[in-house]
Chains A and B, each alone.
Chain A
Amino acid sequence: MPIVDTQLVLYDEDYRKVLGVCERLARDAHAKGVFVVDKNGQLLAEAGDVRGIDTTSLASLTAGSIAATGGLAKIIGEEEFPIHFHQGVRDNLHMTVVGGRIILVVIFDERSSLGLVRLRVKKAGAELARLFEEIRKKSERARAGGGSPFAEITDDDIDKLFAD
């Protein structure tokens, strides 16, 4: 029986660590933008010049694309295709599955190269895998120990959201 993913809880300090990795990767890889997306399509962090990019859509479509190619991989007997590269006329998209749960997306143009992006992503990916393993454990502990802001919400709080 598969195990349902636990709820992901990202605390400020962890977010800053993740953001730090993304910013460094954007700088070192000369990337236009770096995004961390979870496999369910939630955007977790972004760095670089992301102006004009619809990041919510990017996150959802990234997850959809990884899920679809993951399905293809299974059909041919592979567990997953962990690295994806899409080449455009100006901009290119590099996606890597990290730690089985997170997708690291890098957008880059002619100021960088596929080789450099791959090299930098390898190091950043390993760091993120470690960080998200900690975050996952923390999320599980948070869930087991209570303390969520949602423990205290009332029916009234929920009803207010939907008041027309």
Chain B
Amino acid sequence: MSFINYASREINCKIVYYGPGLCGKTTNLQYIYQKTNPDLKGKMISLATETERTLFFDFLPLALGQIRGFKTRFHLYTVPGQVFYDASRKLILKGVDGVVFVADSQVERMEANIESLDNLRVNLAEQGYDLDKLPYVVQYNKRDLPNAAPLAEMQRLLNPARVPEFEACANVGKGVFETLKMCAKGVLSDLRKMAR
């Protein structure tokens, strides 16, 4: 749920990075944080366990510039990917404007990808959202690994509707900004649609 503030001439939107445990959601945000001009970003918050697994969420506020005199700000969140943190994932999806699904390309994680995608649909539906109607981007992460599944297979299993998709190696930044930009564009286009 975006928030338009006429007093400060700001628009705030929320993008959530979803996906199975260890797929690279936090790595995406860390890369964005590292590569963004300090004037355009706030502090990155990671609520993580001692072993650096996301416990509740990561949060990164980002300013993208002005559009028609309004500052556009995006709040990026990740969910905890591990299956048993489902209650937390539901909470973080509240008020979402756009979703990035980060898939782990490793063959042995394909089942976890499918399970997480199903879980995303169910949790969104519980909040009254339909994934097919939200700005939504799929990222195939870890494409550089030798055990990566063929792209066509991942597309067939995870993106039959062929929403915008990107191959990525989030640890070195490949595909990270492309994914974010596509999702942010989708959110802004959606705002326009809502306004008309």
**Contact for A10 among B3, B45, B69, B129, CB less than 8 A:** B3
Tell yes or no: A68 within 8 A of B by CB. yes
Contact A153 B4, beta carbon cutoff 8 Å: no
Interface size class of A (residues with CB under 8 A): 35 or more
Tell yes or no: B5 within 8 A of A by CB. yes
> Considering only CB atoms and an 8 Å cut-off, how many residues of chain B contact the other chain?
48
Contact B3 A148, beta carbon cutoff 8 Å: no
Q: A7-B2, A41-B59, A161-B188 are in contact. List 9 more A-B contacts (CB 8 A).
A: A5-B94, A7-B3, A40-B14, A56-B43, A67-B94, A71-B87, A143-B195, A148-B191, A151-B196
Tell yes or no: B70 within 8 A of A by CB. yes
Tell yes or no: B189 within 8 A of A by CB. yes
A64-B57 in contact given A7-B194, A153-B68 (Cβ < 8 Å): yes
Tell yes or no: A93 within 8 A of B by CB. no
Contact A68 B72, beta carbon cutoff 8 Å: no
Contact B42 A9, beta carbon cutoff 8 Å: no
Contact B185 A158, beta carbon cutoff 8 Å: yes
A residues sitting closer than 8 Å to B (CB atoms) are 1-12, 15-16, 38-42, 44, 54, 56-57, 60-61, 64, 67-68, 70-71, 143, 146, 148-153, 155, 157-162
Tell yes or no: B175 within 8 A of A by CB. no
Tell yes or no: B146 within 8 A of A by CB. no
Contact B88 A68, beta carbon cutoff 8 Å: yes
5 chain-A/chain-B pairs, Cβ below 8 angstroms? A2-B128, A60-B61, A148-B191, A159-B185, A162-B185
Closest 6 CB pairs of A and B: A40-B95, A148-B195, A15-B7, A151-B195, A67-B91, A4-B128
Contact B42 A10, beta carbon cutoff 8 Å: no
Contact B127 A15, beta carbon cutoff 8 Å: no
B residues sitting closer than 8 Å to A (CB atoms) are 1-8, 11-12, 14, 42-43, 45, 47, 56-57, 59, 61, 64-65, 67-70, 72, 75, 87-88, 90-92, 94-95, 126-129, 181, 184-185, 188-189, 191-192, 194-196
Residues of A within 8 A of B196 (CB): 146, 151
Contact A4 B127, beta carbon cutoff 8 Å: yes
Contact A8 B45, beta carbon cutoff 8 Å: no
